[in-house]
């Protein structure tokens, strides 16, 4: 039984860590994969909390569809977040 | 400066949220009685539905679900109108990666199995975990696999809109038939059958199958619109 | 059926603390970051945290999923008393139905937001909100 609790705490810690990673990462593609990992862990946690319907939905939507829409957006725009300390030039008009 | 402001704001918000949450213990008996008693006893007793979440989504809050599929339809429409391009400007579809023969053959083999799984999930929505939303999303994932691995795979917009409209009409007309027979929108008018049989639950399987088709068509259209986006 | 996973006091509040921390991380990302895609990622993380919070509020200790499956009923006759006795040990189905709706709607919202991001990029050729007018706070 203790192994379940260790697994649970590990999953919760991993989820917090992945959330921080996907916020601070400058490469947007890695950040999007991070949100996919968050959804995957969330789906396992829903199964622990006795909500199998919600776990199915989260696994299908959060892991597959949201990630692919983000990746298409990154492909059509830019991949890297800009540096914050850059001297701000006036917007080209 | 802005970061300090935001961090202090978030700290205050978090502390107060946690204080409220610690007053309701995790998994406490506080939630043992409430509106859940009514749902949990009425659903298998009077409606013959084994999965109580399905009974809530389709019947007790069925009007809400009708609004939800409408919101999804609006999201699809808004996305394709925001990303509008003239018909002559429509170029090739964005190819995320060029796929090898193994990927193409494998996805052709997997595609019917994924569609079958999605259909199973939404047909058995009143018996096992699952339902229209999950099944529809699984079907859309199957189409996503085909669209990613075949560069010239096309989905017919006419077929998608036909399926979606027919499913929506089925949902609304089954709801309106409740007016004629029982008295309220989405009221059950079919015999309920035995618990845990496939043919049971009255109108709930019909509505959830319609929701499955509608969600599958809407999400497939949404992915197709997004994949066609290329500068 | 004796599956008492959450009897230890360590995990009593671990779900609440994790959910609130993830909500705060998502809000921080949505408020501080400058890139539009990063803001949408922050909102997505916030969505995940809120879903976890709602589901864990509806949990009942050593409860089962709210499904009257044949394995749960066994050979019990389905009288109202038996159904009431079975439903004592089930988790709350109302937040689950709510979160089911919220996840699907959240995906629609994310898709529309990202299409707006693509449109803005096509018009301004940048994603930095400092350089796009009228989006500063």
* Structural domains of chain C, ranges and CATH numbers in brackets: 11-124 (1.10.287.3510)
Is residue B228 assigned to a domain?
yes
Closest C-alpha to C5, from A70, B221, B215, A7: A7
CA angle, C26 as apex, C23 and C27 as ends, to 5°? 85
Concatenating the DSSP letter of every residue in B178-205 gives HHHHTSSTT---S----TT-SS-STTHH
- Quote the mean pLDDT of chain A: 86
Does the structure show a pLDDT above 60 at A33?
yes
Mean local confidence (pLDDT), B163-172: 92
The gap between the terminal CA atoms of chain C, to the nearest Å, is: 54
B195 pLDDT band, cuts 50/70/90, is confident
pLDDT score recorded for residue B2: 84
Among candidates C21, C70, C94 on the partner chain, residue whose Cβ is nearest the Cβ of B39: C94
pLDDT tens-digit readout, B52-63: 899 898 888 888
Strand partners, C64: C90
In percent, how much of chain C has pLDDT > 70? 88
| Averaged pLDDT score across all residues of chain B | 85
Confidence (pTM): 0.89
pLDDT at position C123 over 90: no
Residue C33 has pLDDT above 70, yes or no: yes
Residue C4's pLDDT band (boundaries 50, 70, 90)? low
Residue B100 has pLDDT above 70, yes or no: yes
Q: Show which of residues 91-110 on chain C sit within 8 Å of chain B, judged by CB atoms.
A: 92-94, 96-97, 100-101, 104-105, 108-109
Binding partners of A (≥3 Cβ pairs within 8 A): B, C
Within 39-68 of C, beta carbons closer than 8 Å to B belong to: 53, 56-61, 63, 65-68
Whether B202 and B48 have beta carbons less than 8 Å apart is answered as yes
Q: How far is C84 from chain A (nearest CA, A)?
A: 19
B64 has pLDDT over 50: yes
pLDDT, mean over chain C:
84
Q: What band does C71 get if pLDDT is binned at 50, 70 and 90?
A: confident
CB contact under 8 A, C128 and A82: yes
What pLDDT score does C134 carry? 65
B226 CB within 8 Å of a chain A CB: yes
| Residue of C14, C29, C48 best to disrupt the A interface, most CBs of A under 10 A | C48
Question: Average pLDDT for residues A80-89, to the nearest whole number?
Answer: 61
Residue B21 lies in a domain: no
Contact A65 B94 (CB under 8 A): no
Contact C37 A70 (CB under 8 A): yes
| Cβ distance of C18 and A15 shorter than 8 Å | yes
Higher model confidence: residue B5 or residue A88? B5
Sketch the domain layout of chain A as residue ranges.
26-79
Total number of domains constituting chain B:
1
Residue B94 and residue A61: Cβ atoms within 8 Å? no
Give Cα separations from B35 to B194, C69, C112 (angstroms): 25, 21, 35
CA-CA distance, A42 to C48, in Å (whole number)? 7
For residue A45, the number of C-alpha atoms closer than 13 Å in the C-beta half-sphere is 30
Look at B95-104, B142-151, B194-203, C8-17 and tell me which has the smallest mean pLDDT.
C8-17
Higher-confidence residue: A40 or B196?
A: A40
Say if B42 falls within a structural domain. no
Chain B residue whose CA is closest to A65: B141
Do the domain assignments include residue B70?
yes
Question: Domain range spanning residue B129?
Answer: 59-82+99-231
Least confident of A36-40, B86-90, B162-166, C24-28: B86-90
pLDDT in tens, A35-76: 999 999 999 999 988 899 999 999 989 888 999 999 989 988
Chain A partners within 8 Å of B131 (Cβ): 53
Q: What is the predicted ipTM?
A: 0.87
The alpha-carbon gap from A16 to the nearest alpha carbon of chain B, in Å, equals: 15
pLDDT value, residue B88 = 60
């Amino acid at each position: 039984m203790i192994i379940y609790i260790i697994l649970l705490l590990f999953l919760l810690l991993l989820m917090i860590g992945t959330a921080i990673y996907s916020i601070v990462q400058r490469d947007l593609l890695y950040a999007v994969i991070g949100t996919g990992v968050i959804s995957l862990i969330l789906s396992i946690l829903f199964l622990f909390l006795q909500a199998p319907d919600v776990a199915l939905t989260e696994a299908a939507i959060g892991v597959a569809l949201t990630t692919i829409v983000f990746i298409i957006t990154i492909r059509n725009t830019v991949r890297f977040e800009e540096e914050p300390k850059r001297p701000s030039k006036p917007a080209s008009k | 400066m802005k970061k300090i402001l935001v961090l202090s704001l978030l700290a205050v918000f978090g502390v107060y949220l946690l204080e409220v949450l610690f007053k309701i213990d995790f998994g406490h008996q506080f939630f043992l009685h409430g509106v859940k008693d009514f749902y949990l006893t009425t659903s298998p007793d009077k409606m013959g539905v084994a999965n109580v979440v399905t009974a809530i989504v389709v019947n007790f809050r069925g009007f809400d679900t009708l609004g939800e599929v409408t919101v999804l339809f609006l999201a699809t429409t808004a996305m394709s109108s925001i990303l509008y391009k003239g018909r002559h400007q429509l170029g090739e579809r964005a190819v995320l990666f060029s796929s090898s023969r193994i990927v193409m053959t494998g996805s052709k083999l997997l595609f019917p199995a994924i569609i079958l799984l999605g259909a199973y999930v939404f047909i058995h929505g009143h018996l096992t975990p699952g339902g229209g939303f999950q099944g529809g999303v699984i079907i859309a994932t199957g189409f996503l696999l085909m669209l990613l691995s075949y560069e010239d795979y096309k989905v017919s917009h006419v077929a998608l809109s036909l399926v979606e409209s027919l499913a929506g009409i089925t949902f609304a007309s089954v709801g309106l038939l409740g007016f004629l027979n029982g008295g309220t929108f989405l009221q059950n008018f079919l015999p309920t059958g035995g618990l845990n049989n496939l043919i049971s639950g009255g109108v709930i399987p019909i509505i959830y199958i319609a929701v499955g088709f509608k969600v599958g068509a809407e999400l497939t259209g949404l992915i197709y619109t997004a994949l066609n986006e290329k500068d | 059926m004796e599956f008492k996973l959450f009897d230890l006091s360590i995990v009593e509040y671990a779900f609440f603390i994790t959910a609130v921390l993830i909500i705060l991380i998502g809000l921080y990302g949505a408020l501080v970051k400058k890139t539009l895609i990063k803001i949408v990622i922050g909102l997505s993380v916030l969505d995940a945290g809120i879903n976890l919070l709602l589901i864990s509020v509806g949990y009942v200790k050593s409860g089962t999923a709210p499904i009257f499956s044949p394995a749960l009923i066994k050979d019990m006759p389905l009288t109202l008393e038996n159904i009431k006795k079975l439903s004592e040990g089930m988790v709350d189905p109302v937040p689950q139905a709510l979160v089911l709706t919220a996840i699907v709607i959240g995906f629609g919202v994310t898709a529309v937001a990202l299409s707006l991001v693509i449109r803005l990029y096509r018009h301004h050729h940048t994603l930095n909100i400092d350089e796009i007018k009228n989006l500063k706070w």
